[in-house]
Amino acid sequence: MEKVLITGIAGGQGRLLASRLMANFTVCGVDWAPWHGAPKDMSVYSLDLRKRKFEDVIRTERPDAIVHLGMIRHFKGDPKRRHDVNVRGTKQMLDHSVEYGVKKVVVVSSGYVYGAFPENPFYLDEEQPLSASRSYPEIRDLVEVDSLAGAFLWKYPHIRTAVLRPVNVLGANVSAMIANYLRRERVPTVLGFDPMMQFLHEADMTEAIAQALEQGLQGVFNVVGPGQVPLHTAIRETGGRATPILEPLFRPAIRMLFGAGVVPWPPGALDFLKFPVTLSGKRFAEATGFQPLFGLAETFASLREGRS
Amino acid sequence: MAEKKGWLDAISDLAGGAMPSAVRDLQTEIADRVRKIPTHLNEFGFDAFGMHPETASSQMLTAALAYRYYFRVETFGIEKIPSGGVLLISNHAGQLPFDGMMLAVSMLLEGEPPRLVRGMGEYFIPQLPFMSWAAERGGNLVGTRENCIALLEAGECVMVFPEGVRGMNKTFDRRYKLQRFGQGFLRLALQAGTPIVPIGIVGSEEQNPGLANLESLGKLLGMPAFPITATFPLLGPLGMLPLPVKYRIHFGEPLHFEGKSTDEDEVVQRKVDRVRAAIDDLLAEGRAQREGVFR
Domain holding A262, by residue range, is 3-306
Least confident of A248-252, B51-55, B218-222: B218-222
CA angle B135, B136, B141 (to 5 degrees): 95
Q: Which of A4-13, A66-75, B58-67, B121-130 has the lowest mean pLDDT?
A: B121-130
Quick: pLDDT tens for A116-167: 999 999 999 999 999 998 999 999 999 999 999 999 999 999 999 999 999 9
3-state secondary structure of A166: strand
> How many structural domains compose chain B?
1
Helices then strands, each counted (H, E), chain B: 10, 9
B50/A contact by beta carbon, under 8 A: yes
Find residue A198's DSSP bridge partners: A228
State the amino acid at position A283 in one-letter form. R
Kindly report the CATH number assigned to the domain that includes residue B91.
3.40.1130
Q: At residue B66, what is the residue type?
A: A
Give the confidence band of B1 by pLDDT, cuts at 50, 70, 90: very low
Rounded average pLDDT over B7-29: 78
A247 and B126 within 8 Å at the Cβ level: the answer is: no
pLDDT in tens, B207-266: 988 888 888 888 888 777 888 888 888 888 888 889 999 999 999 999 999 999 999 999
Question: For position A58, what pLDDT does the model report?
Answer: 97
* B213 within some domain: no
Which residues on chain B are in Cβ contact (under 8 Å) with A275? 126
Q: How many angstroms separate the first and last alpha carbons of chain A?
A: 40
Q: What mean pLDDT is predicted for residues B43-70?
A: 94
Q: Which residues in chain A have their CB less than 8 angstroms from residue B55's CB? A: none
Q: Is A233 in the B-facing interface, judged by CB distances under 8 Å?
A: yes
Asked if residue B50 belongs to a domain, the reply is yes
**In a domain? residue B9:** no
Q: Is residue B93 part of a domain?
A: yes
As a whole-number percent, the residues of chain A with pLDDT over 70 amount to 99
Residue in A192, A296, A297 nearest the CB of B129: A192
Query: B157 lies in which domain range?
Result: 23-207+242-289
pLDDT class of A77 with cuts at 50, 70, 90? confident
Summarize pLDDT for A86-97 with one digit per residue, the tens. Answer: 999 999 999 999
CATH of the domain at A133: 3.40.50.720
d(CA B45, CA A237): 14
Question: For residue B116, is it within any domain?
Answer: yes
Element (H, E) at A253: helix A247-259
> What's the number of domains chain A is made of?
1
- Residue B235, domain member (yes or no): no
So what's the pLDDT on residue B4?
Answer: 56
Residue contacts between A and B (CB atoms, under 8 Å): 71
B147 lies within 8 A of chain A by CB: yes
- Across the interface, do B146 and A123 touch by the CB < 8 Å criterion? yes
Residue B12 lies in a domain: no
Q: How far is CA A258 from the centre of its chain?
A: 22
Sorting pLDDT into bands at 50, 70 and 90, what band is B2?
very low
Nearest by CB: A191 against B128, B129, B144: B129
Mutate to test the interface with A, among B1, B42, B44, B153 (most CBs of A within 10 A): B44
Please check whether residue A275 touches B, CB under 8 A.
Answer: yes
Burial of B168 (0-12, 13-18, 19+ CB in 10 A): buried
The answer to whether the CB atoms of B123 and A119 lie below 8 A apart is yes
Torsion of CA A78, A81, A83, A86, to 10 degrees: -120
